Chain A
């Protein structure tokens, strides 16, 4: 497993001393020794434990709730139901002017209503002295319902799908030319239907909250992708100022989108703590996670492609139907990549939605593109076969110069190079195109390829940087760490920018008392924090220089910053004299110097948000920014059982500058692993009669295990994106895109069978 990195030199601004290096994670010691504390691991005197009771009907009204049995269990402190729960405020209405309003998991005001909106909605919370007493007592609560008719079947409801409306952040449809007419006229075409099931995140850490009230002040330990959203949402629900709430989340045991919104468990733990006057911890059961935290929407997609005999696309149509819950959730950009990947003469993309009496859908690693690339890239493979063209050659013939849907410029696009690199490392030329033509003993061997694609985002981030007289640097920003290695990457960036040793930098994150950071989402966190951090480091050096210049004794007197280099813990003329930061501070009698970028005052936050929106819209008008790549896989299929094993993988990515070769590769591999699960085994089964999830556990929902994952060769081009800070494009999500299609295409190559309905289980190959 080798890594290719940076054929091209880093741009000015990145000295490249540490940026790009495969530095070990700063939290490795804590995570390998059990010392890292997750949300359910903070001890408090008098800690009580909570457990949820879930509804067993999809829609209805509670007619009776029998709690005596639960209350009689020794150690039970309270059984909270809609009959005795204190009032909470409803979820704040969604608004793009207040991004934290997007945090609402569902609009249900839990335990403040007798109405049931989905099968699994929490209808009671039991609080007890011990974990086992709470869980046991929860099984003894008896609930009766008046059941109402519910619409829960995605497939049955599909014909009633309504077109998705466009808003400031997302567009539901787009077109160029008359794609239907072009399709009808095309000499070679495919018109295909693809389906994907619901998926669940299954972070190994179940959602957990520890809530502690101290008068009207609230401390919450929570594994979250957005400490500020949790804080603001709880403030709105419990009617207290956000400033009275502290949300602490230094370690998050996996999230993948599932810990972005605020779900029932969080709110009800806080409620339980309020009711009992005790610190309360609730770790959801694995089943509780399935019942109260949304998953990825199922989808039905149509991809129709038309091409001339020359292999040039004349028409590309991609439409999708996905689901939202009546109580929440949102559209997914399933057709996103289809607007950007191919230079088709005419394009039509359109997304539609069905609304069901189910739990809200929510974002999960590459929402939209993960399933959208499956359909598009599998269809492209089918068309290439019809044209008798190598699938890579077909893609190269249709690689656009400008963004196909609207002619915007690409900020950066090296898909051709990614294919060339990947094909070489994978040994694509050894492939014989005829399906079923390659074998290894009794195994049928197949090789498949698909494009990866994910737009890149940049969000506002406030940071402070403090340089102390002992030469240490403290970076503070409320960003999040769920395994991406954010603290390590930002320490590398700060150390390079300031010219200090890596070890001198400490990064504080995952706490709402810190300057507000970006949420971990949209693969945008690293770039977002990096942008502000670089500005802060620049500011800090200026302030340092100003301080030095005040003293006649400083060799930096009369110097300007752009004539100096930050290195060896200070500012130096090249090659002449200079001074360490420590010396500058010591002479000035200052213990430290601190600078801030962005502000968390009310006005500061509004300005920040307005600036973000303006930049977002301006950027979107000017550029198409994205990460892309080429996924190569080899599968072996057992001809008797239909068992599919992934035996080799190469992913070649265009993700701009890589900050840390180790952690970036890990993110990309992690995405590929999740994609392998999506392709071959993952499926949340929903009972179409009553909307109940039938496999709410890791024994029945099959995520990939060690044995399923071969060594994954990840390589990247290392060419910086000129429009992004340090040239970096996020890596968190692009890895999963294209994976399922590459596998489906390889399975076809091995067997001649096209499976267009995920997951590709054995029964579909027999």
Chain B
């Protein structure tokens, strides 16, 4: 058994685990945070996506012991100050789910994806690697392709993410006066700020 200390949704959790326990099982079975889902336990579906220090990972593919001292955000922790995260409400408005089983992973993944995009990370469909890609529907879909939705709510999910990214971009324009069309930096910043606040 090993001692593992995780900061989960702002709370320090100390666990005594067998070293083979995945971060996903630690969250679901040991901490009772069942919002993070298990769809394959093999890194193939994305249902288990959580944020570690703001970056998205498949929690089924990692051992809990790897994350000692790191800050983990699960779906239970994405809302800030009693307000749902803008993506949560956008998913409802755009019907970005059916059964809801992939939804936690989609939302966490989208938060991480927006941060990656804001940081200038290109994707496989980005044409000019030097400049920041516009967050088009095609870019969103490419960047979200690690998160399967067997119910086929893909259109709603992409719409929800696009909506939040666009709203954040508008906010950014009004804040800075600099026009960056289609940018998602604002949304990502919002996400990471919520993260830091915990």
- Name 26 interchain pairs, CB-CB below 8 A, sorted by A: A1-B159, A32-B89, A32-B97, A34-B33, A34-B76, A40-B38, A43-B32, A130-B21, A132-B20, A132-B21, A203-B101, A204-B99, A253-B101, A483-B99, A483-B151, A665-B95, A666-B153, A667-B98, A698-B39, A703-B150, A705-B146, A705-B148, A706-B145, A706-B147, A706-B157, A706-B158
Which A residues are in CB contact (< 8 Å) with B153?
A: 666, 669-670
Please provide the chain A residues from 48 to 107 with a CB less than 8 Å away from any CB of chain B in the complex.
49
Interface membership of B88, Cβ < 8 A? yes
Of the listed stretches A22-30, A428-436, A608-616, chain B binds: A22-30
* A37-B150 contact, Cβ under 8 Å, with A31-B97, A204-B45: no
Q: How many angstroms from the CA of A699 to the CA of B148 in the assembled complex?
A: 11
- Could you list 9 further interchain pairs (A-B, Cβ under 8 angstroms) beyond the known A699-B40, A699-B44, A704-B152? A24-B95, A253-B101, A286-B40, A484-B98, A667-B98, A674-B152, A698-B45, A703-B150, A709-B154
* A205-B98 contact, Cβ under 8 Å, with A256-B150, A698-B44, A709-B155: no
Interface membership of A155, Cβ < 8 A? no
From B92, B98, B107, B142, contact of A706 by CB (8 A): B142
Please provide the chain A residues from 483 to 519 with a CB less than 8 Å away from any CB of chain B in the complex.
483-485
Q: Which 6 A-B residue pairs are closest in the complex by CB-CB distance?
A: A34-B35, A483-B98, A673-B152, A253-B101, A31-B100, A483-B99
| Cβ–Cβ contact B91 & A697, under 8 A | no
Which B residues are in CB contact (< 8 Å) with A29?
A: 84, 92
Q: How many whole Å from A359's CB to the nearest CB in chain B? A: 20
* Contacts from B to A (Cβ < 8 Å): 18, 20-22, 25, 28-29, 32-45, 47, 74-76, 79, 84, 88-89, 91-93, 95, 97-104, 107, 125, 137-138, 140-142, 144-159
Q: How many angstroms from the CA of A133 to the CA of B30 in the assembled complex?
A: 14
Q: How many angstroms from the CA of A131 to the CA of B21 in the assembled complex?
A: 9
Contact digits for A221-253, partner B, Cβ 8 Å, 1 yes 0 no? 000000000000000000000000000000111
* A25-B95 contact, Cβ under 8 Å, with A131-B25, A698-B44, A707-B145: yes
A699 and chain B: residue at smallest CB distance: B44
| Cβ–Cβ contact A33 & B35, under 8 A | yes
| Cβ–Cβ contact B75 & A33, under 8 A | yes
Interface membership of A446, Cβ < 8 A? no
Which B residues are in CB contact (< 8 Å) with A136?
A: 20
From A1, A28, A704, contact of B91 by CB (8 A): A28
* Contacts from A to B (Cβ < 8 Å): 1, 24-25, 27-38, 40-41, 43, 49, 130-133, 136, 201-206, 251-256, 283, 285-286, 482-485, 662-663, 665-667, 669-674, 697-699, 703-707, 709, 711-712
Which B residues are in CB contact (< 8 Å) with A203?
A: 99, 101, 150
| Cβ–Cβ contact A698 & B42, under 8 A | yes
From B18, B42, B151, contact of A670 by CB (8 A): B151
* A132-B99 contact, Cβ under 8 Å, with A670-B153, A706-B147: no
* A482-B99 contact, Cβ under 8 Å, with A132-B25, A697-B40: yes
| Cβ–Cβ contact B98 & A41, under 8 A | no
Q: How many angstroms from the CA of A458 to the CA of B93 in the assembled complex?
A: 30
A74 and chain B: residue at smallest CB distance: B18
Tell me the interface secondary structure of chain B in the complex: loop
| Cβ–Cβ contact A285 & B150, under 8 A | no
| Cβ–Cβ contact B44 & A204, under 8 A | no
Which B residues are in CB contact (< 8 Å) with A704?
A: 152, 154
* A24-B93 contact, Cβ under 8 Å, with A32-B84, A483-B98, A703-B150: yes
| Cβ–Cβ contact B42 & A699, under 8 A | yes
Which A residues are in CB contact (< 8 Å) with B40?
A: 206, 286, 697-699
| Cβ–Cβ contact B34 & A132, under 8 A | no
Q: How many whole Å from B100's CB to the nearest CB in chain A? A: 3
| Cβ–Cβ contact B91 & A37, under 8 A | no
Q: How many angstroms from the CA of A485 to the CA of B32 in the assembled complex?
A: 27
| Cβ–Cβ contact B20 & A35, under 8 A | no
From B34, B43, B146, contact of A34 by CB (8 A): B34
Q: How many angstroms from the CA of A706 to the CA of B76 in the assembled complex?
A: 24
B24 and chain A: residue at smallest CB distance: A131
B29 and chain A: residue at smallest CB distance: A131
Which B residues are in CB contact (< 8 Å) with A1?
A: 155, 159
Q: How many whole Å from A615's CB to the nearest CB in chain B? A: 30
| Cβ–Cβ contact A669 & B36, under 8 A | no
| Cβ–Cβ contact A673 & B154, under 8 A | yes
Which A residues are in CB contact (< 8 Å) with B38?
A: 40, 206, 283
| Cβ–Cβ contact B92 & A24, under 8 A | yes
Greatest chain A CB density within 10 A among B22, B35, B158 is at B35
Which A residues are in CB contact (< 8 Å) with B98?
A: 254, 482-485, 666-667, 670
Greatest chain A CB density within 10 A among B36, B137, B155 is at B155
Q: How many angstroms from the CA of A283 to the CA of B24 in the assembled complex?
A: 14
Q: How many angstroms from the CA of A89 to the CA of B22 in the assembled complex?
A: 38
Q: How many angstroms from the CA of A673 to the CA of B91 in the assembled complex?
A: 18
Which B residues are in CB contact (< 8 Å) with A205?
A: 37, 39, 99, 101
Greatest chain A CB density within 10 A among B76, B145, B157 is at B145
Q: How many angstroms from the CA of A669 to the CA of B156 in the assembled complex?
A: 10
